[in-house]
């Protein structure tokens, strides 16, 4: 099989992910990059057909990634891509046996997510010069726990100001409805009123958040804007818009919300993904216990 045919197999795989599995363009692009990286390894080091790779070749590839000190999470992702690719080749009758079927996925290192304290959140919202759009974006991220990509892709029709809910389409186009707090609803309404006063589009199908040119704000643009406000609020730890998602989950659990509800609001498929936040809340409980229990010391 020539390199051109290898590219064809990969392109058919990527098309399958987007057309049949409803993968986002960003995810499909990442899968494509990983597959072509593996194809390049096979061509340069093994001189065999991509579709004829066995598990030993794949293990050599993964071992090379380990030797390059690549993060375990990245290696796990690349193996998952290969598993999906060869499963696709079996489904489409290109190969009979999936070489990755018996390969175990390494356990991912559990890292306690970075979150912002309640005082830091208060400092952020107390900034006097946040414009209405940016305040509405920050309020919505913290109030709903949605991802930055979910935020920028929302339209005005997705927010119900009366019921206080937001319709979100997450990974794999999975739809969920999340509650939105009163302060956030006020911030969004104020921003919409400002847009309307400035003659900007406020129809239900218009983007929820606009950039300075009146177009939908991009994920990159939103990240840059929010980063500036984090700095102004004096938050010195390394944070990102996703930190607000971690903060949302942590603060809910700290205040007694059950983990199943947090899982549903975050849109996590597996409860184990949500359980990482319990490490944070347990640490908070430990501090309270140590300071309050008379028999600790």
Full DSSP string of the chain:
--HHHHHHHHHHHHHHHHHTS---HHHHHHHHHHHHHHHHHIIIII-S-GGG--HHHHHHHHHHHHHTT--HHHHHHHHHHHHHHHHHHHHTTS-SS-TTTTPPPPPPPP-PPP---HHHHHHHHT-TT--HHHHHHHHHHHHH---HHHHHT-BGGGEETTTTEEEEE-GGG-EEEEE--HHHHHHHHHHHHHHHHTT---STTSBSSB-TTSSBPPHHHHHHHHHHHHHHTT--S---HHHHHHHHHHHHHHTT--HHHHHHHHT-SSHHHHTHHHHHHHHHHHHHHHHH-TT--
CA distance 39 to 81: 12
Catalytic residue selected from 78, 133, 195, 268: 268
Catalytic residue selected from 147, 195, 246, 251: 147
242 is catalytic: yes
245 is catalytic: yes
255 is catalytic: no
Catalytic residue selected from 78, 135, 154, 245: 245
277 is catalytic: yes
171 is catalytic: yes
Catalytic residue selected from 83, 171, 189, 227: 171
66 is catalytic: no
Catalytic residue selected from 31, 61, 191, 277: 277
Which residues have a catalytic role annotated?
147, 171, 242, 245, 268, 277
């Amino acid at each position: 099989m020539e390199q051109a045919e290898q590219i064809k197999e990969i392109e058919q795989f990527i098309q399958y992910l987007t057309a049949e599995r409803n993968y986002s363009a960003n995810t499909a692009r990442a899968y494509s990059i990983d597959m072509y990286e593996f194809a390049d390894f096979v061509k340069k080091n093994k001189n065999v057909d991509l579709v004829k790779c066995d598990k030993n070749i794949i293990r050599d590839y993964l071992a090379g990634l380990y030797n390059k000190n690549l993060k375990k999470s990245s290696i796990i992702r690349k193996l998952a891509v290969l598993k999906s690719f060869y499963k696709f080749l079996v489904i489409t009758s290109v190969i009979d046996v999936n070489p990755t079927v018996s390969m175990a996925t390494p356990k991912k290192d559990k890292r306690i997510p970075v979150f912002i304290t309640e005082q830091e959140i208060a400092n952020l919202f107390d900034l006097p010069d946040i414009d209405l759009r940016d305040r509405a974006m920050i309020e919505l991220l913290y109030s709903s726990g949605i991802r930055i990509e979910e935020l920028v892709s929302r339209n005005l029709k997705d927010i119900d100001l009366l019921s206080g809910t937001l319709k979100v389409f997450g990974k794999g186009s999975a739809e969920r409805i999340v509650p939105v707090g009163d302060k956030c609803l006020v911030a969004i309404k104020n921003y919409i009123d400002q847009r309307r006063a400035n003659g900007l589009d406020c129809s239900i199908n218009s983007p929820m958040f606009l950039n300075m040119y009146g177009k939908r704000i991009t994920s990159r643009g939103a990240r840059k804007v929010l980063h500036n406000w984090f700095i102004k609020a004096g938050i010195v730890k390394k944070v990102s818009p996703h930190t607000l998602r971690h903060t949302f989950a942590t603060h809910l659990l700290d205040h007694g919300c059950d983990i199943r509800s947090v899982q549903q609001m975050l849109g996590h498929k597996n409860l184990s993904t949500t359980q990482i936040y319990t490490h944070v809340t347990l640490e908070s409980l430990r501090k309270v216990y140590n300071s309050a229990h008379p028999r600790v010391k």
